[in-house]
Every structure is written in C-alpha cells, then in structure tokens.
Amino acid sequence: MMRRWPAWLRSGRVLIGLTVVSAILFCAIFAPVLAPHDPNEQNLISTFVPPIWAKGGDVAYLLGTDSLGRDVLSRLIYGARVAMLVAVFASLGAMAIGAVLAYIAGYFGGRTDAVIGRAVDVWMSFPPVVLSLILMVGLGVGLRNVVLAIILVDWTRFCRVMRSEVLVVARKDYVAAARLLGFSHWRTIVREIVPASLPLLITLISLEMGIAVIVEAILSFVGMSVSAETPAWGQMIADARQYIYDSPWGLIIPILAIFLAVFGFNILGDGLRRTLDVRLTETQRA
Amino acid sequence: MDMLIAKDLTVSASLHGERVPVIRELNFSVAPGRVLGLVGESGAGKSMIGRTVAQLLPPGFAVTRGELMFDGQDLVRMPFETRRELLGRDIAFVPQEPLSGLNPVLTIGQQIDEHLARLDFGNRKVRRDRALEMLDAVHLTQGASLLGKYPHQLSGGMCQRVLIAMAFASRPKLLVADEPTTALDVTIQARIVQLIAELQRNEGTSVVFITHDLRLAAQICDEILVLYAGRPAEYGPARAVFSEPAHPYTRCLQLSNPAMSGARRGLYTLPERMPGLSAIKGIEGCLFAPRCPNVTEGCNAAPPPVIDVGAGHRAACIHPDRTAAIAAPVPAAIDASGLGTPLMTVDGLSKTFTTRHGLFQRSEFAAVKDVSFALHGNEFIGIVGESGSGKSTVARMLCGLERPSEGAVAIAGRDVSDDSAATRAYRRDYVQMVFQDPQSALNPRRRVASIVTQALEAAGTGTGAERLARAEALLSEIGLSPEMALRFPSQLSGGQRQRVNIARALCAEPRILIADEIVSGLDVSVQAQLLNLLLRLRRQRGFAMLFISHDLSVVRYLCDRVLVMYRGEVVESGPTAAVFDAPSHPYTKSLLAAVPPDDPSAAWAPRSRDAEPALALGAGL
C-alpha cells in the first residue's frame, strides 16, 4: 500500500504556511551565501538607489540601497536571521514555561490552579509592549535579552489557553481510568493528557512565532533590540522612516518582509488548528 | 381520513456517489386520535421518519420514491412556505433531549410567549394567561414562577413537560415524539408518557411515537411498526405485535429484553449487529437473514414480501409460522453459593459536597448518607435509583476517585479509608472500575491493544510483543476478534467500545468490578450480549461486581442482591427476587410500578410522586 501523507500535510493552508516559513528559514540559515553584499558595507556614492523595477534601479542592488548606501536585499536576508532566531527561541521558551504551568494547574486543579491562575491574571494586567520595553531597559540590548523579554511577556498566553484545554481532558474518564490502573501523576500527564493537547500546543507555537516576529520588530524599531551593527527588519523601518517621501521602497520592503513572515506563521497555525483539532474533525465527520 | 399516510416511502442517502436506500418502501397510516409506535434499534431509521415529516433530512439524504401525505397534502413535494406554516402549528414535535430543545438564554416564559405569538394568540396578556393554562394542563403547578425561570433551573422532566405544553398549544393534528423519555428517569418516563397519552386523548391528536422500548410501545400505542435497517419488519395492532410477534426480529428483540415478572429467563442474544449503509448494498435477500435464527436458503434469495399474518397484522418474513418457536436460552444459574466472608465491607459511607457562595456563605449537600453493605466473592450487587440518588458517588468513593466524608471501607479485611500510596496500591489489586461512557473512557489516541493492556504499562511489565499477545487474548475473551487490537476506539461500534472498556479493567485481574451504568444507552441486543458476557466472565474468572443501573429489568436479570438508593440513602436492600417480588419501601414500589409491565394487557399504573417538582425547585433556588 502506498504511504499516504498525513491529513495535516494535505491542507492548503499548512502547505502555504510551510512554504513561506521554510523559505524565510532558508534565507536566514544561508544568509552569507545568498546575500550579494555585506549587510553593513556602506557605499556612500550610491545612496537611495531605488529597486531594480523602479526608474534608476541598479542591477548591483536588486532592492536598492538605504541612506548609507547599504544593500537592502542583503540587510533583508540578514534581518531574517534575527527574526527567525527570536521567533523560534522565544516561542519555544514561552511554551516551556506556559505549558508546564498549564499542565500542573489543569491537572491538579484546586489551590494549585487558583495560584497559577491568579499569577497569570496579574501578569496579563501589564500592557505587553510596555512590559517588554521595561524589561529591555532593565536587561539591556542584545538578541538573548529580546528572546528573554518575549518569553517573560508571552508565557501567560500559553498558560491560559492550555490550562482550559488540559482542564477538559483531565476530566475525561480515561484519565481517571489510568489513575485507577496505577499510573503515576507524571505518567498520566505524559501518556494521557499531553497527546490530547499536542495539536493545540503546536498551533499555539506557530501563532506565537508570528507574534514574536512582530514584537522583535517593534523593539528594534525603537532601538531596544539587537545592537546597531546587526541588521533587523524593525531597524530598517526605523532608518527608512525619515526618508519616506524620497525613498518609499526602503520602508515598504521590510514591512512586506514582516508581513510575509507573520502571514506564513499564522496561516500555518490556522491550518494546523483546522486539521489537528479533534473537535473540528469530529464534527465534520459526523 | 387518515392523518398521516406513508406510501412506498423511500429515503436514500448518497454513499460514494451511489444511492443507498436508508428507508425502503415503508407503508403505514395514522388515523386521527391514534398512536403509532415506531420501534427498532438505533440505526433502524426511526428518527429518519420524523425528519422526513419535517423535511429536515441530513445532507445527502432525499426522498427518492413514494409519498408522505399529511391531511391530504404531500409533505415531500409541498412548497417550503406551506410546510413551514404546518410545522409547529398542525404538526408538533417533542424532542429526545429536553434540555437541548429549549433555548438556554431565554426564560421559559419568553419561549412559550414567542411560540404563542407565532400562533397569533393575541396580545401579551392573553398569551400569558394561555401560557399559565398550558403549564397547568401538563401538571406544572406554580406556573407563574416557572415562566421566569431558565431551562437549566428545571429538571429534565419539567423541561420535557414545557415542551409538551408548547407542542399541544396549537391543538396540533399530528404529534411526532422522538424518544421523548429516553433521557429521563423511569419514574418520570411513566408520567411523561401518560401525560402525552392524556393530552392526545383530550385533543384527539394523532401521534407518531418513536421508541426503542418495545414494552413501552405496547403500553401506549395502538399500532406498532417495527423497523429493521430501514425496512418494515412488522406492522400491526400493538397487542398482536407484542403478544404474537410474526417477524423473528420482533421476537428476538422481545427475548433480549430482561423480563420484569415471572421466573428469571435467559436473554436471547442476537449475533453481530444491524447492517450499516455500506453493508445493505451487498445483501440481496432479507436484511435480517444474517442474524436470524430461522434462516433458510430462501431467505437469502430475494427480499421477503410483506404478507398478512392476521387482522391488519403484516410481516416481512417468508415463514412467520416458525417465529413463535424461537425461545430464550435457559438462564445460566445465578450461583451465589460462594458467600463466605465478605470481600468488601462498606460501613456508614457518607459524602457531603460543600459549595461556596461568595466569601462566607457555603451550602452543604449530602450526596450519600450512611450507606452500609457487604460484597462477597463472586457476588453481583445491583444499585438502583434515579439520577441524583448518589449511586455514582458511591461507586467513585469505592474505587478511590472520591474521598468519603465519613464511614469506612474495608477490602478483604484491610481498611482502605486512608489515601496513602500503599492503600491505593492495595485497593488497585482488588478493585477496578468500568466507566459509563466509553466515548470518554477510552483515549481516542490509543489503539485498542494499548488501552486494554494499560494495567501492564502501569506496572511496567511485559515487552511490546507480550503485551500484544495479552491484548489479543483479552479481546478473544470478551468476544472481539484479535484484529481489533490495532484499531482506534473511533473505529469500533458502541457495544465493541464497551467491551474494550470491560477488558481494560479485567487486565488488572481485579476481584471486584465496579460498573457504572455500563449498558445504558446501548441497544437491547447489544445490552443482552454484554450482560451475558459479564455472567460468562464471572463463571470463567470469578469476580464480584457492583453494578449500578437505573434499569431495573437489567438488575433483575444480572444481580444476586440489590440496593435501592433514594436521595443518598439505601432505602431497601435484599436478594433481587425478594425485593422485586415483594418490595416493602414505598419508593421501591413506585420505581417498580413505573416500569411498563411485560404483559401489555396488564394495567400500568405508575404511582405519582410529588418528589419530582420539589426536587427540581430545590435545585433551582
């Protein structure tokens, strides 16, 4: 018999999302090979070169140059490194904290649940952008600190959503049956509850990656992210902002890059949610 | 003229581009003021008829032949607007699930008023008076306070009465009641059914009464139509169909239902199950032939013709004369001789739930009060009672899922009241639980083999191959083929899932099994298979069981002793035969009286109890 693709790989949304995300990931990994120029190499003779398709474009600079004559394409490709690093590590980190607390809260319930729930409530009462700015001021700039700031802000999102899912699964009779058969708490969670909540977890991670890209862009836009010599999409927007009338492409191109990355993560997450969510697939089958 | 006439009614579903008849060539008629019972197992197409009347068929289903005439008008081909005018006005419905039949965010008053406004009942004041009258007619006193309540504040029985009141508000000519009492307790079922009968007589309404309960149908219906896989099996006057069934299917259904009176008889077990949509296509002859005890070669040649077997009594069988010869097997003797020292003793078990309202207020609810009994090796004890009587709470306490507020439980002489790890391990060696709903009790992501060997996984014993072998052995012991081991629960039927559920508990080799409503919601043929399976397993392995059920006839068949619970207390207990034949507590008497008797000509006189409204109002406050 021919091996069939799993259902989630046959969904159009998932395929589109995977294509976009892996393309960006590819750029990030092979940036030194792909980029035609050094991203920080200045060519003060040819500043504000428009992209190749606009009037006055130069083949040497496919997407044009910025105010210091740096190649936009190269900066874009290198900027993907920051975006992807932040997306992957921040979302995995936020998941690690949020999901573990959610499993504990949802499974044990009672006082444990109340304490964790209140902590999440208090944490979420801080506006996320302000909180991350404060954290960045406290921690100082740098890639590691950006990741840390996003984790510290966004773990609550995982915790709250996962907790309600765990709560539902933990009430199932098969969880009680596992306990009666002598499963330890740890084994019950790992064998009975985690598999049931895995689809939601995967979906949340994918959505969180999109959010992390945006937050990183915001932070680098205000100069609170990576140091100035590391190209980042938010920085490119901030740099091009002053010359918006003379050279609009310098602004539009990084915005498009952010848009594409977030779109890719979101449509991937949405597609995964649709195909992996048991409740949705069950109603369709019925 | 007849109110509802079905002539060669055929409903087809498209399956992989092919049309498969779900209901084929159905003929029946309901005269004004008469009650037609549609009887059959789930999947027989009973509900499809109600849906055809409303033209609310699922996507892909359509009437492909024949007609369904209501009061001289063709329900299938009439324009949408005409039908909409008829529905709810001349044709009324009573649904199976009363709670989902009412809108949870509107009060009862708002919903009745909305319905009456649609029926042009005049202004708000008139409608309110009419609403109160209606509630009075369904014996809901305190109507004025009810109007301001929301559905969740009422009991299931009260919701069903409200729906019945609304159904009769327009003095409909036809009422379609689809399993109106299946979700309700037996005492409430009796009153709801009698209420429908009373209103039906007063208003001269024709009723199509859909049910899986042949005994109930025999009590309240004038005619009965037995359906099998969408085909008419038997049609005739209720008494005749019940007392002299001509179709083997009717007879087998009857015999697979445990008796409520007389000597304990064995249960007939129909093998396999009703063919599904895809299987129907492959069967040339009688669809029942693969399961029929009287099958001959002629049965598989062509679909059986519908022949007359008595006055107005027809059956689709080529040799109806042999049907009466089908007999129930001799019951396996219930052997309670092994009574020695008790295996489990329960002494003064109580459970009080505390609910907090705000910071300082708290209310206490005694779910279980002072329950004591002893369970001996190899003994089956039944616990019966209505929902909310504390049966399930007792079960959960005995297997350690709930901590008792008071009282002691001892297993084989050792007290297991504390919650230490050692006690839990000790209890685990003796007690296992079979859960009610296999949908929730089986992890949908595990394969059957992995589910039934969970006990080995917990103990960390056995290699993968050993576990698979064990799983296959268990499966054959519970009557499933070993190939099922690699399936997922979603690929099994309801009865098969419940067997897997039992097998998982048995894998731990328990000496006490606690079974909470494990046959409710299953068809009688599947129920009979499971009950006989439990008796066989007891003979083969030897275990005691606490069998919790709301179905008295099942307990009568299966259990050696019975405990009757009412509002958290055991009001009567004793050997099953003694309690059923000579009940002493008034509650036991009313429970027994609520079950439709075996003999359809016997008077069915359920006692009315005033407990129900009081209970429900208490819950609402």
Sign of the alpha-carbon dihedral angle for A43, A47, A48, A54: negative
**Please, what is the average pLDDT of chain B?**
87
Chain B residues with beta carbon closer than 8 angstroms to that of A172: 440-441, 443
Average pLDDT over residues A213-237: 88
Q: pLDDT > 90: what percent of chain B?
A: 38
Q: How close B528 gets to chain A, by Cα (Å)?
A: 24
Q: If you write DSSP's letter for every residue of B215-250 in order, what string do you get? A: HHHHHH-SEEEEEETTEEEEEEEHHHHHHS--SHHH
Question: What are the structure tokens assigned to A140, written together?
Answer: 């100082």
Average pLDDT over residues B345-357: 88
CB B418 within 8 A of CB B571: no
- What confidence tens digit (pLDDT) does each residue in A122-180 have? 999 988 888 888 888 888 888 889 999 999 999 998 999 999 999 999 999 999 999 99
pLDDT recorded at residue B603: 74
Residues 6+ apart with CB under 8 A from B279: none
Residues 6+ apart with CB under 8 A from A6: none
Sign of the alpha-carbon dihedral angle for B481, B486, B487, B488: positive
3-state secondary structure chain A: CCCCCCHHHCCHHHHHHHHHHHHHHHHHHCHHHHCCCCCCCCCCCCCCCCCCCCCCCECCECCCECCCCCEHHHHHHHHHHHHHHHHHHHHHHHHHHHHHHHHHHHHHCHHHHHHHHHHHHHHHCCCHHHHHHHHHHHHCCCHHHHHHHHHHHHHHHHHHHHHHHHHHHHCCHHHHHHHHCCCCHHHHHHHHHHHHHHHHHHHHHHHHHHHHHHHHHHHHHCCCCCCCCCCCHHHHHHHHHCCCCCCCHHHHHHHHHHHHHHHHHHHHHHHHHHHHCHHHHHHHHC
Chain B residues with beta carbon closer than 8 angstroms to that of A181: 428, 432, 454-455, 458, 504, 508
Average pLDDT over residues A108-126: 92
pLDDT recorded at residue B606: 67
pLDDT recorded at residue B616: 36
Q: Is the pLDDT of residue A281 over 60?
A: no
pLDDT recorded at residue B252: 92
Q: Is the pLDDT of residue B174 over 90?
A: yes
For the ranges A4-8, A175-179, B316-320, which has the lowest average pLDDT?
Answer: A4-8
CB A210 within 8 A of CB A144: no
Average pLDDT over residues B236-244: 90
Q: State whether residue A127 sits within 8 Å of chain B by CB.
A: no
Nearest-angstrom CA–CA distance, A17 and B85? 50
């581009």: which residue's tokens?
A: B17
Nearest-angstrom CA–CA distance, A32 and B488? 49
Closest CA to A105 of A189, A222, A176, A6: A189
- What confidence tens digit (pLDDT) does each residue in B256-296 have? 889 888 888 888 888 877 887 778 877 888 989 888 888 88
pLDDT recorded at residue B511: 92
Nearest-angstrom CA–CA distance, B216 and B186? 11
- What confidence tens digit (pLDDT) does each residue in B371-428 have? 999 999 889 999 998 888 889 899 999 988 888 999 999 999 899 988 888 998 999 9
pLDDT recorded at residue B339: 63
Cβ atoms < 10 Å from Cβ of A74: 24
Q: Is the pLDDT of residue B600 over 80?
A: no
Average pLDDT over residues B495-508: 92
Nearest-angstrom CA–CA distance, B408 and B402? 13
Q: Out of A180, A183, A278, name the one closest to residue B444 (CB).
A: A278
Q: Is the pLDDT of residue B607 over 80?
A: no
Q: How confident is the model at residue A279 (pLDDT cuts 50, 70, 90)?
A: low
B342-441+511-578 to CATH, choices 3.40.1410.10, 3.50.50.60, 3.40.630.30, 3.40.50.300:
3.40.50.300
Residues 6+ apart with CB under 8 A from B108: B102, B146, B147, B148, B149, B150, B151, B154, B162
**Please, what is the average pLDDT of chain A?**
88
Closest CA to B298 of B319, B281, B283, B274: B319
Q: Out of A174, A180, A181, name the one closest to residue B442 (CB).
A: A174
Sign of the alpha-carbon dihedral angle for B97, B101, B105, B106: negative
pLDDT recorded at residue B383: 95
Nearest-angstrom CA–CA distance, B286 and B280? 10
Among A residues 174-233, those touching chain B with beta carbons less than 8 Å apart: 174, 176-183, 187, 191-192, 195-196
pLDDT recorded at residue B337: 56
A180:B441 CB<8 A: no
pLDDT recorded at residue B170: 87
For chain B, what are the domain ranges?
342-441+511-578
pLDDT recorded at residue B333: 64
Return the amino acid letter for B431.
Answer: V
For the ranges A96-110, B40-54, B215-229, which has the lowest average pLDDT?
Answer: B40-54
A173:B504 CB<8 A: no
Nearest-angstrom CA–CA distance, B30 and B256? 29
Question: What are the structure tokens assigned to B620, written together?
Answer: 């609402």
Superfamily of domain A27-285: MetI-like (1.10.3720.10)
pLDDT recorded at residue B497: 92
Chain B residues with beta carbon closer than 8 angstroms to that of A179: 401
Which of residues B426 and B17 earns the better pLDDT score? B426
Nearest-angstrom CA–CA distance, B12 and B259? 37
Average pLDDT over residues B220-237: 92
Nearest-angstrom CA–CA distance, B405 and B403? 6
Chain A residues with beta carbon closer than 8 angstroms to that of B433: 176-177, 180
Nearest-angstrom CA–CA distance, A83 and A96? 20
Testing the interface with A: which of B402, B434, B442, B454 to mutate, by most A Cβ within 10 A?
Answer: B454
Q: Is the pLDDT of residue B177 over 60?
A: yes
Nearest-angstrom CA–CA distance, A100 and A118? 16
- The residue ranges of DSSP E strands in B31-111, in sequence order, are 35-39, 61-70, 73-74, 91-94
State which H helix or E strand residue B8 sits in.
strand B4-15
Closest CA to A213 of A75, A35, A25: A25
Average pLDDT over residues B212-221: 88
Q: Is the pLDDT of residue B609 over 60?
A: no
What residues pair up with B545 in beta bridges, in sequence order?
Answer: B380, B513
pLDDT recorded at residue A266: 93
3-state secondary structure B432-479: EEECCCHHHHCCCCCCHHHHHCHHHHHHCCCCHHHHHHHHHHHHHHCC
Q: How close B518 gets to chain A, by Cα (Å)?
A: 13
pLDDT recorded at residue B613: 38
Q: What are phi and psi of A266, to 5 degrees?
A: -70, -45
Phi-psi region of B343 (alpha: psi -120 to 50; beta: other; left: phi over 0): alpha
pLDDT recorded at residue B303: 87
For chain A, what are the domain ranges?
27-285
Cβ atoms < 10 Å from Cβ of A286: 6
Cβ atoms < 10 Å from Cβ of B295: 16
Q: Is the pLDDT of residue A57 over 90?
A: no
Q: How close B526 gets to chain A, by Cα (Å)?
A: 22
Q: State whether residue A48 sits within 8 Å of chain B by CB.
A: no
Return the amino acid letter for B113.
Answer: D
């009315």: which residue's tokens?
A: B608
- The distance in angstroms from the start CA to the end CA of chain B is 49
Nearest-angstrom CA–CA distance, B295 and B616? 51
pTM for this prediction: 0.84
Q: Out of B399, B436, B459, name the one closest to residue A180 (CB).
A: B399
Burial class (CB in 10 A: 0-12, 13-18, 19+), B357: exposed
Q: Is the pLDDT of residue B167 over 60?
A: yes
Q: Out of A180, A187, A192, name the one closest to residue B432 (CB).
A: A180
Q: What are phi and psi of B602, to 5 degrees?
A: -70, 145
- What confidence tens digit (pLDDT) does each residue in B459-487 have? 888 888 999 999 999 999 888 888 889 99
pLDDT recorded at residue B381: 94
